[in-house]
Amino acid sequence: MGYFSYLYYYDWTYLVLMIPCILLSLFAQMKVNSAYSKYSKISNSRNMTGAQAAEYLLRANGVTGVQIQRVSGRLNDHFDPRTNVIRLSDEVYNSSTIAAVGIACHEAGHAVQHAEGYLPNKIRSAILPVANIGSKVSWLLIVLGLVSSMFQPLLYIGIIFFSASVLFTIATLPVEFNASSRALACIRNNNLLTDQEYKGAKSTLQAAAMTYVAATATAVMQLLRLIMLADRRR
């Protein structure tokens, strides 16, 4: 693995392609932590909890049959399309903060996407099985292909598998942005928050969206770097 570390990490492509992405990811994480820390401490004027906000958005869009459950953890809120369940973390489910309303409505937005058959969401779901396989086997093949010319064909196969993971990451972007747009539209159109509170919820969701942008940039640059390394090995 020492040879692989030298081959893979210590070259100009890492400095030019990956370092900026690492810095972007750190900045995005800092922004989301800052926004969440600020707006998770400010209660909204309607005293609406995250669970209530999610229920409101579902009703406003005519979506039924979706359960809203409380789960332990922090910032692990998500919608599970397999069980049609919105899972909200301890700090969101029963909290009446600005951040809780924004996050809960975002997850409810995913449930609405699922109910309406939102096309980008369908595309993302179709890519998921291949992406899961790619994330599990791609790096093993890539490492073998890089450390020995005898296994070089595996490098290209690994890159193909990794490309599926990158494609999934790209497909995630419009899904996440749309869920936030649905959330903010519902909040504003139904006056769930005041204008000032709305700005806080928007800042929280925009900061979260930046983490997805950073992840996509990192994945794309990683793929480009692998292609360049593979070309160099030929």
Give the pLDDT confidence of 196-225 residue by residue, as tens digits. 999 999 999 999 999 999 999 999 999 999
Answer yes or no: is pLDDT of 1 > 70. Answer: no
Q: Cα torsion at 61, 208, 195, 110 (round to 10°)?
A: 0
Sheet with 85-89, strands from edge to edge, namely 67-71, 85-89, 78-80
For 75, the token pair is 């910032």
pLDDT tens digit string along 111-154? Answer: 999 999 999 999 999 999 999 998 889 989 988 888 877 778 89
Q: Which of 193, 196, 230, 224 is nearest to 102 (CA)?
A: 193
Query: How much is the average pLDDT of 56-62?
Result: 97
**Confidence tier at 9 by pLDDT (50, 70, 90):** low
Residues 6+ apart with CB under 8 A from 129: none
Of 91, 107, 176, 197, which one is the catalytic site residue?
Answer: 107
Range of the domain at 166: 2-233
Classify residue 10 as exposed, middle or buried by CB count within 10 Å of its CB (0-12, 13-18, 19+): exposed
**Where does residue 75 fall: left (phi above 0), alpha (psi -120 to 50 degrees), or beta otherwise?**
left
Handedness of CA 111, 162, 28, 174 (dihedral sign): negative
Q: How many domains does the chain have?
A: 1
Q: Residue 85 pairs with which residues in a beta bridge? A: 67, 80
Active site residue 91: no
CB 163 within 8 A of CB 200: no
Q: Of 18-22, 118-122, 178-182, where does mean pLDDT reach its minimum?
A: 18-22
For 52, the token pair is 């209530």
Q: Which of 173, 36, 58 is nearest to 108 (CA)?
A: 58
Q: Where do runs of H (alpha helix) occur along 2-79? A: 2-9, 12-13, 19-39, 50-60
